[in-house]
Amino acid sequence: MSSRFLVFVIPLVVILVFWLMAKREQGQSHDPTRKGFFERNGTVLGLVFIGLVAFWTLFLVVLPYLYMAVESFHPKLVPAKRGGPEDVLTIAQYKSFFVEPSSGDWNTTHLWAFGYTIVISIIITALNFAISYPLAYYMAQAGTLQKVRLLMLALIVPYWVNEILRAFSLRLLLASKGLINQALMGIGITDGPIDFLGNNTGLFVGLSYAYLLIMVFPLYNAIESLDKNQIEAARDLGAPWWKIHRDVVIPYAKPGIASGCTMVFMLSAGSLAAPQFLGGPRTLWFTSIVYDFFFQAFNWPRGAAYAFILLAACIAFVMLMLRLFKVSLGETIR
Amino acid sequence: MTSRFVMKGMIGFYIFLFFLYLFGPLAVMSVTAFNTPAYPQAIPFESFTLEWFVKLWNHRAMMEGLRNSFIIGLGVVALSVPVGLAAAIIMNQIYHRARGMFYLVTVSPVLTPGVIIGISTVIFWKDVLGATEFTKEYFYKGIILSIFGQSSFVAAYCLLIIMARLQRFDRAQEEAALDLGATNPQVFWHILLPFLKPALISAAVIAFLTSFENYNTTTFAILADKTLVTVLAGEVRQGTTPALSALAVIIIGISLAGAIIYEVMKRREEQAAARLSERARIAERSEIVPAPV
C-alpha cells in the first residue's frame, strides 16, 4: 500500500519546494509595490481560486495519472488480496507487452498492433494535412469574407455530429450492402461486394474522416494571420506557387501545423470508435486491446501498463513535432 | 489569363470534393432515416416514412442516456468554467518559476488520449471513493466519475479560451477602480467578470458540447450507467437500424440551427459596431473642425 500513498506525497513535495523558493525570493527582493496573492484578489476569492485549481490539477489530472502509473507496476489480484503480502511492485505488466507470460514467446500480436497503430496514425496525420492544407490556405488567404464565413459554417455543423454517428454513416456507405458496393456492382466493375470493412479501408477512411476538421481549424488560424503582402511580394519577385508555400506560408504556419498534427495523431492513436465500428474482425488497434483488458479480461494493471505505453508514444510524438517545427508548447496549444 | 481561369476551376473542384467527402456520408445517412426498409439504405428509396423517429422516441435506453448526458453536460459546465477562470487568473499571478510546470500540468489533459483519461479516472477514484462505505455508496457513480474525467480536459479548453481574452484586459481599469475605493471582490464581480463574459459564454457552450459528444473517456468513466453516446455505441455494435439515422438527422438539424443563429447574431453585432464607430467618427470630425460661428 505504501507505494500508493507515495502518489499523494509527491505533488505536495513539488508544491512545497516551489512555495519555499517563492518565499525566499520574496525575502531577497524589497519591492514595496509588490502585492501578495491574497492582497490582490481578496482572501475569500483567493481561497476559492486556489481550491478550484488545486482540485483540478491534483485530483483530476496529476493524482489519477500517477495512481495509474503505480497501478501498472502491480500484479493483478482479487480485491481481497490488494494491500496484502502478494501486492508487491513488479514490472511484469510491462514485460508482458514484449513477452507473452503464458508461453514465453515474443508477444508478436501486441507488438505488431502497437507498431501498426503508430504507423497508421502517422500516415493518417500526413494524409489529413495534405487534404486540409489547400482548404485552410484558400479560406485564410484567397477567399472573400462572405465565402469564408459560409465555408466556416459548413465546417462547424459536421464537427458537432458525434464520432459514433459519423462512423455509422461511413459504415452505411462501405458495408457489403452499402451504397458504394451497390454502385460498383451496378456499373459492373466488380461482381461481388468488396469487403471494405474487412480489408481495413473502412478503418483508414473512418480515422481520416473523424479528425479532418481537427486539422483544418489550427491550420486556418495560423495561416490567417499571415500578411497577404508577403505572398504578393514573393509572387512579384517571381517565385512559383510551390516555392511560395514552401518558403513563406509553411514556415509561418508552423505552430498551426504542429498543433494540428499533434492533435490528429493523438486522437487517431487513441481512437476507439473507428476500429470498433469500421474495422474488420481481424483488425487489431492498440486501444481496442486496452479496452479488452478492462472490459473482458478485467486485468486492470496490465491495461494500465498498456495505456501508459500508449501515453509514452503520444508524448514522444509531441516532443518530435515540437523539435521538428522548432516551436514551443505554448505556441502550439492556444 | 487562361491559367488563372484553370486554377480557379481547380480550386472550386477541390472545395467541392472536400465538402462531398465531409457531407456525403451524412447526407446518405439522412436519407436512410426516411426510407422504409429495416436495413438502412438510401437507394432504392422505397417510400417515405417517419416510423424510425417514432422508434427512436420509444427507445427507453436512449432516452435515459439522453437524460444522463444532459446531467453530465451541466455538471461539466458547472465545474470546468469556474476552474478554467480560476486557473487563468492564477496563471497570470503564479510564481514565475512555477509557471512552466503549472502550464504543462494544465494542458497535459488536452494532449492525452481520452481513453487514458477515462482509465486513470476510474482506477484512482475507485480506490479513493471506495475507501469508506459511505462514499462508495453515494459518490462512486458513473455520472460523477464522468463529470470528473471529462472536466479534466474540458477545464483545459476553458482555461485556453478565457486566458486568450484575459490577456487583452487592461490592468489600468482594475487600478482605477481600486483607487476609487472599490474592494478586491468588487473589482472581480463588476469589472473583470463583465469583461470576460463573452469568453465565459463560449467556454460554457464548448464545454457542454464536448461533454455531450464524448465517447472515449465516458465509456470507461460511466461504469454501469449510460449516456446517449454509449447507448449509441452499443446499438452500432449490435447492428444497424435506421433509428440511428433518425437520431443523426435530429443532431444535424440542431447543429445547423445553432450555427445559423450564431451567424445571424454575429452579423447583427457587427452591424451595431459599425454604426457605433460611424457615429464616433462623425462626432470626432465635428470636434476637430470647429462649427462656423
Q: How far is B289 from chain A (nearest CA, A)?
A: 35
The answer as to whether B6 is a domain residue is: no
Cβ distance A56 to B216 less than 8 Å, yes or no, reads no
Closest chain A C-alpha to B125 CA, distance in angstroms: 8
* Residues of chain B found within 8 Å of residue A149, distances taken between Cβ atoms: 263
- The verdict on A148 touching B (C-beta cutoff 8 Å) is no
Contact B123 A314 (CB under 8 A): no
Between the alpha carbon of residue A80 and those of residues A2, A7, A71, A85, A126, the distances in Å are 17, 22, 16, 11, 48
Q: Is A290 on the interface with B (CB under 8 A)?
A: yes
Please name the residue of chain A whose CA is at the shortest distance from the CA of residue B213.
Answer: A162
Same structural domain, A141 and A40: no
Note the pTM of the prediction, 2 decimals: 0.87
Bridge partner residues of B35 (DSSP): B48
Q: Is residue B133 included in any domain, yes or no?
A: yes
Interface of A with B in 179-238 (CB under 8 A): 179, 182, 209, 212
**CATH code of the domain in which B119 resides:** 1.10.3720.10
Residue A77: inside a domain:
no
Of the candidates A311, A318, A330, which has its C-beta nearest B103's C-beta? A330
- A234 to chain B, minimum CA–CA distance in Å? 17
Whether A14 and A154 map to the same domain: the answer is: no
Q: Which residues of chain B does A67 touch, with a Cβ-Cβ cutoff of 8 Å?
A: 120, 123-124, 127
Q: Is residue B71 part of a domain?
A: yes
CB neighbours of B161 closer than 8 A, spacing ≥ 6? B84, B199, B202, B203, B206
Tell whether B202 lies on the interface with A, counting CB pairs under 8 A.
no
pLDDT band at residue B84, thresholds of 50, 70 and 90?
very high
DSSP state, residue A100: -
Contact B207, B16 (CB under 8 A): no
Residue A290 placed within a domain: yes
Q: What is the number of other CB atoms lying within 10 angstroms of the CB of residue A109?
A: 11
What pLDDT score was predicted for residue A31?
A: 67
Q: Which residue has the higher pLDDT, B248 or A33?
A: B248
Regarding whether A290 and A189 lie in a shared domain, the answer is yes
Can you give the pLDDT at residue A2? 67
**A interface test, pick of B236, B260, B266 with most A CB neighbours within 10 Å:** B236
Q: How many Å apart are CA B153 and CA A61, to the nearest integer?
A: 9
Query: How distant is the Cα of A171 from the closest Cα of chain B, in angstroms?
Result: 9
For chain A, the first-to-last Cα distance in angstroms comes to 40
Both A202 and A295 in one domain: the answer is yes
Same domain, yes or no: A249 and A294: yes
Of A56, A71, A86, the one marking the end of a domain is A71
Chain A residues inside the 8 Å CB shell of B127: 4, 67
Residues of chain A where predicted confidence (pLDDT) is lower than 70: 1-2, 30-34, 332-334
User: pLDDT confidence of B152, banded at 50, 70, 90?
Assistant: very high
pLDDT the model gives residue B151: 94
Q: Are residues A183 and A319 in the same domain?
A: yes
The answer to whether residue B11 sits within a structural domain is no
Q: Tell me how close the Cα of B276 comes to any Cα of chain A, in angstroms.
A: 21
The domain in which residue A209 lies consists of 108-332
Question: Is A314 within 8 Å of B112 when comparing Cβ atoms?
Answer: yes
Separation CA B24–CA B150 (nearest Å):
31
Buried-state track A205-228, b at ≥16 Cβ within 10 A, e below 16: bbbbbbbbbbbbbbbbbbbeebee
Nearest-5° Cα angle at A26, A25 to A29: 85
Domain shared by A62 and A119, yes or no: no
A92 domain residue, yes or no: no
Chain A to chain B, count of Cβ pairs less than 8 Å apart?
251
Distance separating alpha carbons of residues A288 and A292, to the nearest angstrom: 6
Residues of B in contact with A294 (CB under 8 A): 119, 220
> In chain A, which residues have their Cβ closer than 8 Å to the Cβ of B113?
266-267, 269-270, 287, 310-311, 314
| Domain limits for position B225 | 60-247
CA distance A80 to A58: 28
pLDDT digits (tens, 9 = 90+) for B162-217: 988 888 888 888 888 888 888 888 888 888 898 888 889 989 988 998 898 889 89
For residues A8 and A156, membership in a common domain is answered with: no
- The yes-or-no verdict on residue B254 having pLDDT over 60 is yes
HEC letters along chain B: CHHHHHHHHHHHHHHHHHHHHHHHHHHHHHHHCCECCCCCCCCCCCCECCHHHHHHHCCHHHHHHHHHHHHHHHHHHHHHHHHHHHHHHHHHHCCHHHHHHHHHHHHHHHHCCHHHHHHHHHHHHHHHHCCCHHHHHHCCCHHHHHHHHHHHHHHHHHHHHHHHHHCCCCHHHHHHHHHCCCCHHHHHHHHHHHHHHHHHHHHHHHHHHHHHHCCCCHHHHCCCCCCHHHHHHHHHHHCCCHHHHHHHHHHHHHHHHHHHHHHHHHHHHHHHHHHHHHHHHHHHHHHHCCCCC
- Are residues A167 and B219, on separate chains, in Cβ contact within 8 Å? no
Cβ contact (<8 Å) for B90 and A169?
no
Joined grid coordinates for residue A166: 459519423
Residue A229 lies in a domain: yes
| Residues with Cβ within 8 Å of residue A22, at least 6 apart in sequence | B95, B97, B98
Per CB-CB distance under 8 Å, the chain B contacts of A320 are none
In a domain, A199, yes or no: yes
- On whether both A126 and A40 belong to a single domain, the answer is no
Q: What SS3 class is residue A99?
A: strand
CB contact under 8 A, A163 and B215: yes
Q: Would residue B66 count as lying in a domain? A: yes
Q: Is B24 an 8 Å CB contact of chain A?
A: yes
Do A184 and A36 lie in a common domain? no
On whether the CB atoms of residues B87 and B274 are closer than 8 A, the answer is: no
CB contact under 8 A, B119 and A318: no
Chain centroid to CA A61: how far? 16
Nearest-CA residue of chain A relative to B99?
A: A18
User: B115, A138: Cβ pair inside 8 Å?
Assistant: no
Q: How far apart are CA B268 and CA B27, in angstroms?
A: 31
**Any alpha helices (H) in chain A, and if so which ranges?**
2-28, 37-41, 43-54, 63-71, 92-98, 108-137, 145-159, 163-174, 179-187, 201-210, 212-224, 228-236, 241-244, 250-252, 254-269, 273-278, 286-295, 300-325, 329-332
Grid cell of B274 as nine digits: 459599425
In a domain, B15, yes or no: no
Whether residue B73 lies inside any domain: the answer is yes
With respect to residue A49, please indicate whether it lies within any of the assigned structural domains. yes
Number of domains chain B contains = 1
pLDDT at A56 (0 to 100) = 92
CA triplet A304, A309, A310: central angle to 5 degrees? 95
Distance (Å, whole) CA B30 – CA B40: 10
Between the CA of residue A295 and those of A96, A292, B106, what are the distances in Å?
18, 5, 29
- Interface contact A287-B115, CB threshold 8 A: yes
Query: Do residues A109 and A284 make contact, with C-beta atoms less than 8 angstroms apart?
Result: yes
Is A48's Cβ below 8 Å from some Cβ in B? yes
**Cβ contacts (< 8 Å) between A52 and chain B: which residues?**
82-83, 86-87
Min distance A284 CA to chain B CA atoms (Å): 16
Contact B251/A161, CB-based, under 8 Å?
A: yes
Residues A156 and A269 in one domain: yes
Residue type, A230: Q
**What is this model's ipTM?**
0.87
- Min Cα separation B248/chain A (Å): 6
User: In B, which residues are within 8 Å of A329 by CB distance?
Assistant: 103-104, 107
Our CA dihedral for A207, A211, A213, A217, rounded to 10 degrees, sits at -140
Do A172 and A58 share a structural domain?
no
What b/e readout covers A148-158, taking b as 16+ CB neighbours within 10 angstroms? beebbebbbbb
What's the pLDDT at A52? Answer: 92
Q: Which of A62, A127, A160 to mutate to test the interface with B (most CBs of B within 10 A)?
A: A160
Per the CB < 8 A criterion, the answer to whether A279 and A46 are in contact is no
- Is B115 in contact with A314 (Cβ distance < 8 A)? no
Report d(CA A168, CA B28) in Å as an integer. 11
CA B87 to chain centre: 19
Whether B105 is in a domain gets the answer yes
Q: Round to whole Å and give the CA distance between B27 and B31.
A: 6
Q: What is the tally of structural domains in chain A?
A: 2
Point out the residue among A55, A294, A330 whose CB comes nearest to the CB of B220.
A294
* Amino acid in the structure at residue B20: L
